[in-house]
């Protein structure tokens, strides 16, 4: 009888152990490159979620081990992983609604403003429906400052100097630069340094953190300080089925940590990243090209209006309320 009682107790202990393990929730998160300013909000989110759930809900972050960056949205759609980051310009046809944030010369002035604009676009019914096609729910943006260009050889000091300039640029930034006569190439961020070193491109359009992380500032001898042609929009999304399967406590821990994660991201970018950037430019003696307001007005006239008009026409034809999305963004900026 004693033996039977002990066996029963052992089975009960094992069963309880498995039940306890089953209560834990683990999500796989697909990023790329390496940990950097661009991923700090995801890192912070993972930390906060684990803390709030006493380790019962964890985000396992992978840098390139789960998927290629251009395939992250596809991975989300089939449930290959539960969370991922991607950039709209990598596949504009798959997420046309959020490419409104990649239109050139919008006049976004800060990371905080970029967050508010992105969140407004993400919450628009057309955007929600757009991403729902991929079983994806938009969680938070990855706010980036305006891109500028670092390059080798002769710097483009005038509008005419952009004619024939090969540049790594994607999305609306690439479209805008092409209207200035440049020749954009949409290689991935991880391939940009190789493209610059091999001569495939003579310049690269990136935000400061990416120039640092991917080493494109190293061979560059010039940098445009204020061209500000636009930026890319790179959201963090979750698989909708996985989100719906969370308990109320897990969902609250995830959604309730977004604002703090974004605040951490902004603080880190505005202090550490920009300090490192300024030091790198000074250390290398990089020539800094600053355009006059009259020159910037010329750039905007040549590129901003035509690209926006084409974007509205193309996406309206596809059934997207493109004018409404554009007015939402530009109206918020104006106010």
CB < 8 Å & 24+ apart, contacts of 274-281: 274/208, 276/212, 277/208, 277/209, 277/211, 277/212, 280/212, 280/217, 281/217, 281/223
Say if CB 139 and CB 258 are below 8 A apart. yes
> Residue 33: exposed, middle, or buried by beta-carbon count in 10 A (0-12, 13-18, 19+)?
middle
For each of the domains in the chain, give its residue range(s) and CATH number, in order of start: 25-91+110-142+233-273 (3.40.190.170), 148-231+284-334 (3.40.190.170)
Rounded Cα–Cα distance for residues 218 and 198 (Å): 14
Neighbours of 31 (CB within 10 A): 25
Asked if residue 140 lies in contact with residue 146, where contact means CB atoms within 8 angstroms, the answer is: no
Among 80, 82, 77, 127, smallest CA distance to 100 is for: 127
Task: Label the pairing between strands 166-168 and 203-206.
Answer: parallel
**Phi, psi torsion values for 158, nearest 5 degrees:** -135, 170
How far apart are alpha carbons 209 and 223 in whole angstroms?
A: 14
Strand ranges inside the chain, DSSP E: 25-31, 57-63, 83-85, 136-140, 148-151, 166-168, 183-185, 203-206, 222-224, 236-239, 287-289
Ordered per-residue pLDDT tens for the chain, 335 residues: 444 444 544 444 444 444 445 579 999 999 998 999 999 999 999 999 999 999 999 999 999 999 999 999 999 999 999 999 999 988 999 999 999 999 988 989 899 999 999 999 999 999 999 999 999 999 999 999 889 999 999 999 998 999 999 999 987 788 889 988 999 998 888 899 999 999 999 999 998 989 999 999 999 999 999 998 888 899 999 999 999 999 999 999 999 999 999 999 999 999 899 899 999 999 999 999 999 999 988 888 888 888 899 999 999 999 999 999 999 999 999 98
């Amino acid at each position: 009888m004693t033996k039977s009682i002990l066996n029963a107790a052992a089975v009960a202990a094992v069963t309880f152990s498995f039940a306890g393990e089953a209560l834990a929730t683990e999500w796989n998160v697909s990023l790329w490159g390496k940990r950097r300013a661009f991923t700090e909000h995801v890192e912070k989110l993972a930390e906060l979620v684990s803390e709030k759930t006493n380790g019962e809900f964890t985000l396992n972050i992978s840098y390139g081990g789960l998927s290629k960056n251009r395939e992250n949205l596809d991975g989300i759609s089939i449930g290959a992983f539960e969370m991922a980051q991607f950039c709209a310009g990598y596949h504009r046809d798959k997420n046309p609604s959020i490419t409104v944030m990649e239109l050139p010369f919008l006049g976004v002035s800060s990371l905080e403003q970029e967050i508010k604009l992105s969140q407004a676009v993400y919450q628009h019914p057309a955007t929600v429906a757009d991403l729902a096609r991929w079983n994806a729910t938009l969680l938070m943006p990855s706010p980036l400052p305006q891109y500028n260009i670092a390059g080798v050889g002769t710097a483009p000091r005038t509008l005419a100097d952009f004619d024939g300039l090969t540049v790594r640029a994607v999305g609306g930034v690439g479209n805008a630069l092409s209207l200035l006569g440049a020749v954009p190439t949409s290689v991935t961020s991880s391939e940009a340094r190789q493209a610059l070193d091999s001569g495939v491109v003579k310049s690269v359009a990136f935000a400061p953190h990416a120039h640092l992380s991917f080493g494109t500032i190293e061979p560059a001898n010039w940098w445009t300080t204020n061209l500000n042609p636009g930026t890319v929009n790179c959201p963090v999304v979750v698989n909708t089925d996985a989100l719906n399967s969370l308990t109320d406590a897990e969902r609250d821990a995830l959604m309730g940590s977004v604002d703090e994660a974004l605040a951490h991201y902004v603080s880190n970018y505005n202090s550490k990243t920009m300090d490192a950037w300024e030091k790198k430019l000074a250390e290398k003696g990089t020539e800094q090209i600053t355009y006059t307001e009259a020159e910037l007005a010329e750039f905007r006239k040549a590129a901003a209006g035509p690209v926006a008009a084409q974007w509205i026409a193309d996406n309206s034809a596809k059934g997207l309320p493109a004018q409404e999305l554009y007015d939402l963004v530009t109206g918020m900026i104006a106010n």
